[in-house]
Structure 1
Amino acid sequence: MSRPDILLVYDKECPACHAYCQVVRIRESVGELRIVDAREDSEVMREITGAGMDIDQGMVLKMGEQLYYGADAIHALALIGSRSGVFNRFNYWMFRSRRVSTVLYPLLRFFRNLLLKLLGKTRINNLNQPGRDRF
């Protein structure tokens, strides 16, 4: 029996998001983690947009047919994550609690948006909201 693909969709132009997604690991028994750039057209991005999820405000983890968004995504990643390496142990320790994830994720998102504004990056704006071109 093959392990399912688990998709992690994020903004590859965000240095903080990119660094996180390059080091986060999941347990082999859970499946294989595939990274998807939210700036590229893909089936999963169409699904995310159809679900009304603003990718500029949160990463998405897709496991099977379930989409986890923002704080729920980082919480789920912590629970299915590998405990090997300092980063992955820290990630588990920090985000294993749904409550802590819910409190910390908006703070992380604020600093991400500030970083992207300082870097002059444009929003993905997958929901095509007028006037939302820049951070």
Structure 2
Amino acid sequence: MQEDAAANPRLRLVYDGECPMCRRYVRWQRIRKEVGELELIDARQESEARRELTASGIDLDQGFALQIGERWYHGSEALHRLTLLGTRSGVFNRTMYRLFASQQRTERLYPLLKACRNGLLSLLGIDKIRNVKPRR
């Protein structure tokens, strides 16, 4: 039986695969089964999604990107949307829901998360995504 594309839209998350914080987040984040399957894409790898986002002017150093259907969300909006798609099972997912289910709270907290990510990458000597040639 073929699933209806409207009932299960395309879900893709483009994140920084070199960032320990980002890797841990995508490993622990769980979306509800009825939402569909989330495709995880490392922004440092060559991909259709990375080319599409770059062409659209989306800076992946400023935040990850989430595609739901045909629409892309970036940064705090992507985090908020992903949180709403997530399960409430487990301490991590319940905590994420409490923090980021509110769009306004997510917008206030996201700059802090981005600063932590950038500081961590700097401490680890990891270059920004835009300065790295995508790996195949």
Q: TM-score, normalised by structure 2?
A: 0.89
The question of 1:109 aligning with 2:114 is answered yes
Once the two structures are TM-superposed, the CA of residue 84 in structure 1 deviates from its matched residue by: 1.1
Structure 2 residue corresponding to 1:74, chosen from 63, 73, 79: 79
Does structure 2 conserve the Cα–Cα contact (< 8 Å) formed by 1:24 and 1:88? yes
The question of 1:35 aligning with 2:26 is answered no
Structure 2 residue corresponding to 1:96, chosen from 98, 101, 109: 101
Once the two structures are TM-superposed, the CA of residue 27 in structure 1 deviates from its matched residue by: 0.7
State, as a whole percentage, how many aligned pairs show the same letter: 50
Q: Where do residues 1-135 of structure 1 align in structure 2 (5 Å cutoff)?
A: 1=3, 3-125=8-130
- 3-state DSSP of counterpart to 1:22: helix
Does structure 1 conserve the Cα–Cα contact (< 8 Å) formed by 2:67 and 2:73? yes
Structure 1 stretches lacking a partner, 5+ long: 129-135
Q: TM-score, normalised by structure 1?
A: 0.90
Give distance in 2, aligned partners of 1:80 and 1:66: 15
Give aligned pairs, total.
127
Give distance in 2, aligned partners of 1:34 and 1:5: 8
Q: Could you say what the CA RMSD is over the residues aligned between the two structures, in angstroms?
A: 1.4
* Larger RCO, structures 1/2 (Cα 8 Å, 6+ apart): 2
- 3-state DSSP of counterpart to 1:55: coil
Structure 2 stretches lacking a partner, 5+ long: none
1:131 equivalent in structure 2: none
Once the two structures are TM-superposed, the CA of residue 31 in structure 1 deviates from its matched residue by: 1.0
Does structure 1 conserve the Cα–Cα contact (< 8 Å) formed by 2:10 and 2:70? no
- 3-state DSSP of counterpart to 1:53: coil
